[in-house]
């Protein structure tokens, strides 16, 4: 079943309270940057769900609100297809919905499930919370309860379970709800940092897909009347994908932060040498900006990408198209701002093409990689300066390390970073006493990317010269430049600390 029955409305301001003073009535408003407006399957607005989303909008970010709407779409579709009103739902309906969600097959691969059991549990959990709200705020109380624990004999029986969570040192008691229709949860290993061989395989795929001879005849046929536009598209796709991977590797930012970076703030990147990254997950209308200092070599990488972005927009204009790039860093093939989901899907396809279809590979694993190496570097530095061993390290020591890392990663609290302490100790155990291990790691990352770029430049040069003769001096000069920069990266990282 299709999961989406809503469309996202642009930012809107809604009044939620009014107070009468001597100088007039003061109305407080709530600004919702992106509201997912829900519809029934008939096309009519689904007012109960929209009211629910409006009520909880102030508690969550725009991305979370869209996720909740996507989860509730399954319940809305079920009610529409079965012609069942919300107030008439029973345990049997929840069981049937659960089975549908578990049985549905993937559209991309009919032999696989559309979602795992944990996802089904999350969908049913969101449905339960919505139904509890509906019963409390919408329904009349003079009837059989719609949902509740067995003691009240409701139509839908749930269990209320206490869950103790510790947040920033304070004990906070929370509750969650279960239903007998929920499948057993699937244990899943936490995401590990993405491995370097995986990154290199994906970079090779990015390069191959930028070569005209590697594209399918069907794809090339679409551009038979505009070969120049096809060449520009392949070149921009290569630049965009490689830069996306580079950003994820060297900054550890979230994909949602990546797509919201503003081009205008980076026009002078060679001078400022500072990335301006919007910090998500703060439940604020406008994401606060964190400054991420970089070295000149890294600033040059950003600058080269911005040149490629501008060149592609100009090509689209020259072809009679009307690109609307706005201030977005990343563009679609039509020259519009790309969505986070599209960027993630694109990376997923690249990973599958690289042979990682049945292996967990996603953009967020770059963030795990970056954080792991940051914690490792700071932990190593702390050990060398303090002389402490793992056995005598204290929580205060670890917190001081994690606070420094959090300034780069945009974490509001260090609590969610504790997981990386164990990973960092593992990395230190592997590296032993190699003083420049981290610097060499990042230098080799960039060296590999630059060598792939050189391969692309060499082939482009050969094509321009009719494959007759390639200027070897031009190639060797470029290779010497790449190697010199790699060596410089190691020296600068060692002398001045690790800013990329």
Q: What contacts 245, CB < 8 A, 6 or more positions away?
A: 199, 202, 203, 206, 366, 449
HEC secondary structure over 43-101: CCECHHHHHHHHHHHHHCCHHHHHHHHHHHHHHHHHHHHHCCCHHHCCHHHHHHHHHHH
Exposure of 142 by Cβ count < 10 A (0-12 exposed, 13-18 middle, 19+ buried)? exposed
Residue 165 pLDDT > 70: no
Token code pair at residue 469: 């003769």
At 212 the pLDDT is 81
- Which residue in 354, 405, 410 sits closest to 376, CA to CA? 405
Pairing verdict, β 24-32 and 6-9: unpaired
* Residue 408 pLDDT level (bands cut at 50, 70, 90): confident
At 381 the pLDDT is 86
* Residue 16 pLDDT level (bands cut at 50, 70, 90): low
Phi–psi pair at 251, nearest 5 degrees: -125, -20
What would the mean pLDDT of 95-116 be, rounded to a whole number? 88
At 428 the pLDDT is 73
Comparing 107-121, 207-221, 393-407, 424-438, which segment has the lowest mean pLDDT?
Answer: 424-438
Q: What is the pLDDT of residues 261-320, one digit of tens each?
A: 999 999 999 999 999 999 886 555 567 899 999 999 899 999 999 999 999 999 999 888
At 433 the pLDDT is 40
Token code pair at residue 143: 């009837």
Contact 63/256 with Cβ under 8 angstroms? Answer: yes
SS3 24: strand
At 463 the pLDDT is 60
Q: What is the pLDDT of residues 46-58, one digit of tens each?
A: 999 999 998 888 7
Pairing verdict, β 35-38 and 24-32: unpaired
At 228 the pLDDT is 87
Residue 252 CA, chain-centre distance (Å), reads: 11
Pairing verdict, β 147-148 and 156-157: parallel
H-run or E-run covering 375: helix 364-386
At 460 the pLDDT is 64
Residue 169 pLDDT > 70: no
- The per-residue b/e assignment along 291-325, b for 16 or more CB within 10 angstroms, e otherwise, is ebebbebbbebbeebbebbeebbebbeeeeeebeb
Topology classification of domain 196-362: hpI Integrase; Chain A (1.10.443)
Residue 66 pLDDT > 80: yes
At 496 the pLDDT is 39
Q: What is the pLDDT of residues 233-253, one digit of tens each?
A: 999 999 999 999 999 999 989
Residue 480 pLDDT > 90: no
Comparing 112-126, 138-152, 190-204, 469-483, which segment has the lowest mean pLDDT?
Answer: 469-483
Give the Cα separation of 344 and 244 in Å (integer).
10
């Amino acid at each position: 079943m299709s999961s989406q029955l809503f469309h996202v409305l642009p930012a809107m301001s809604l009044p939620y309270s009014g107070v009468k003073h001597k100088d007039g009535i003061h109305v407080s408003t709530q600004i919702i940057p992106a509201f997912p407006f829900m519809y029934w399957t008939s096309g009519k607005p689904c007012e109960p769900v929209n009211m629910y989303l409006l009520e909880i909008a102030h508690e969550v970010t725009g991305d979370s609100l869209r996720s909740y709407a996507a989860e509730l779409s399954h319940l809305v579709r079920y009610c529409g297809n079965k012609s069942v009103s919300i107030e008439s739902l029973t345990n049997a309906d929840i069981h049937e919905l659960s089975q549908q969600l578990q049985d549905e097959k993937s559209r991309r691969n009919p032999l696989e499930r559309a979602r795992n059991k944990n996802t089904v549990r999350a969908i049913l959990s969101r449905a339960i919370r919505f139904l509890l709200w509906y019963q409390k705020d919408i329904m009349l109380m003079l009837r059989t309860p719609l949902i509740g624990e067995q003691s009240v004999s409701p139509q839908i029986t749930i269990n209320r379970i206490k869950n103790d969570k510790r947040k920033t040192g304070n004990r906070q008691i929370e509750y969650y709800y279960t239903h007998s229709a929920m499948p057993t949860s699937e244990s899943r290993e936490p995401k590990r940092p993405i491995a370097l061989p995986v990154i290199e395989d994906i970079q090779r795929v990015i390069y191959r897909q930028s070569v005209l001879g590697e594209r399918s005849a069907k794809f090339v046929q679409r551009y038979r009347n505009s070969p120049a536009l096809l060449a520009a598209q392949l070149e921009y796709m290569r630049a965009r994908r490689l830069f996306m991977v580079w950003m994820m590797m060297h900054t550890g930012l979230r994909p949602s932060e990546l797509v919201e970076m503003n081009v205008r703030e980076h026009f002078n990147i060679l001078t400022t040498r500072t990335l301006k990254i919007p910090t998500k997950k703060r439940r604020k209308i406008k994401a606060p900006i964190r400054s991420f200092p970089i070295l000149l070599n890294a600033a040059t990488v950003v600058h080269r990408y911005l040149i490629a972005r501008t060149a592609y927009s100009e090509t689209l204009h020259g072809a009679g198209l009307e690109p609307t790039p706005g201030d977005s860093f990343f563009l679609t093939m039509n020259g519009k701002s790309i969505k986070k989901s599209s960027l993630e899907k694109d990376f997923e396809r690249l990973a599958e093409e690289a042979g990682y279809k049945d292996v967990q590979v996603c953009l967020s694993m770059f963030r795990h990689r970056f954080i792991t190496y940051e914690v490792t570097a700071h932990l190593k530095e702390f050990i060398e300066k303090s002389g402490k061993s793992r056995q005598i390290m204290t929580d205060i020591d670890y917190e001081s390390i994690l606070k420094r890392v959090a300034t780069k990663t945009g974490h509001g609290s260090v609590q969610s970073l504790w997981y990386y302490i164990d990973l960092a100790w593992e990395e230190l155990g592997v590296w032993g006493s190699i003083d420049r291990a981290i610097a060499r790691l990042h230098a080799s990352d960039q060296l590999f990317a630059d060598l792939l770029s050189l391969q692309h430049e060499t082939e482009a040069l050969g094509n321009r010269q009719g494959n007759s003769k390639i200027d070897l001096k031009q190639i060797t000069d470029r290779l010497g430049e790449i190697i010199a920069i790699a060596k410089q990266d190691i020296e600068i990282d060692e002398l001045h600390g690790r800013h990329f």
